[in-house]
């Protein structure tokens, strides 16, 4: 038998989605879900509101854990100052609408609210996809500094090794200072550019990282220079700059002996 959609049941759905139910409450609510198609349908609407911007349309309401990653991303974007005025305008419009509908029954208001919320979420989804395409996800997928060449030798202490050690301890500011101090005459200077660019990247100093990797792309060693193009492309993707990323990737794919040649070809094809 279908459950009457009471205010308490709506509150239970919200607590269920937020993971706030105790073990016994959770067990009872999920049993109710299994027995009640209407309740499952209502929960699906709530899930879509929680997860609308993500790409999780095929998951089941009976999963033990909902994917919170996309929700967190949306919340982060909505907290940014750039979207606060828009959010305020939407809320004001919502208040005006409901004040004009004061004679409508509470649950009719609830369904109308879902419709309005759906439009709002759809708007944000389109707005974000147009203004902030997710090219940065490619950066997340491909960036890897775990394979940077190490020059630490037992008993030897140099500016380079000091930088390498603090980088591995995640003290990226100190690492940047050490690698930036290495002279161009030092035989490890090209490698220091690679580590320096990585340090700037970790510090989210993207402009400095790009400039450093561009310097690396001009060194005499063709394999090292190709690393400059590869990592420059990744930082441009991190900045959501598709065009500049593609230009750097085109340089990466000019020679099959270049660093990450195949990966660059695949990534370039995805962006094209």
Write down how long the chain is: 272
Instruction: Give residue 48's domain range.
Output: 7-130
Number of domains comprising the chain: 2
- Domain-located, residue 266: yes
Per-residue pLDDT band at 15 (split at 50, 70, 90): confident
- Tell me: do 267 and 214 sit in the same domain: yes
77 closest CA partner among 155, 131, 14: 131
pLDDT tier, 12 (very low <50, low <70, confident <90, very high otherwise): confident
Is there a single domain that holds both residue 16 and residue 38?
Answer: yes
Contact in structure between 212 and 195 (CB atoms under 8 Å): no
Mean pLDDT across 190-204 = 97
Query: Of 104, 130, 156, which closes a domain?
Result: 130
Q: Mean of the per-residue pLDDT values for the chain? A: 77
- What is the per-residue pLDDT for 61? 38
Asked whether residue 69 falls in the same domain as residue 167, the answer is: no
**pTM for this one?**
0.54
| 3-state class (DSSP) for residue 133 | coil
């Amino acid at each position: 038998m279908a459950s009457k959609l009471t205010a308490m049941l709506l509150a239970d759905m919200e607590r269920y989605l937020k993971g706030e139910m105790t073990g016994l409450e959770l067990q009872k609510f999920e049993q109710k879900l299994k027995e009640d198609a209407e309740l499952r349908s209502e929960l699906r609407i709530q899930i879509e509101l929680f997860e609308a911007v993500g790409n999780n349309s095929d998951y089941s309401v009976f999963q033990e854990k909902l994917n919170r990653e996309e929700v967190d991303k949306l919340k982060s974007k909505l907290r940014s100052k750039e979207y606060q005025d828009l959010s305020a305008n939407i809320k004001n419009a919502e208040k005006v609408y409901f004040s004009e509908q004061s004679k409508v029954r509470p649950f009719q208001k609830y369904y109308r609210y879902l419709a309005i919320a759906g439009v709002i979420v759809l708007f944000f989804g389109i707005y974000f996809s147009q203004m902030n395409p997710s090219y940065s996800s490619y950066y997340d997928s491909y960036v890897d500094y775990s394979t940077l060449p190490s020059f630490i030798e037992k008993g030897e202490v140099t500016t380079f090794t000091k930088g390498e050690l603090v980088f591995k301890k995640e003290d990226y500011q100190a690492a940047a200072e050490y690698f930036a101090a290495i002279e161009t005459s030092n035989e490890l200077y090209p490698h220091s550019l690679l580590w320096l660019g990585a340090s700037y990247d970790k510090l989210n100093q993207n402009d400095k990282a790009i400039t450093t990797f561009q310097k690396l792309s001009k060194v005499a060693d063709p394999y090292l220079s190709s690393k400059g193009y590869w990592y420059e492309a990744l930082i441009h993707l991190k900045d959501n700059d598709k065009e500049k990323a593609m230009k750097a990737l085109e340089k990466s794919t000019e020679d099959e002996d270049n660093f990450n040649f195949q990966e660059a070809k695949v990534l370039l094809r995805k962006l094209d």
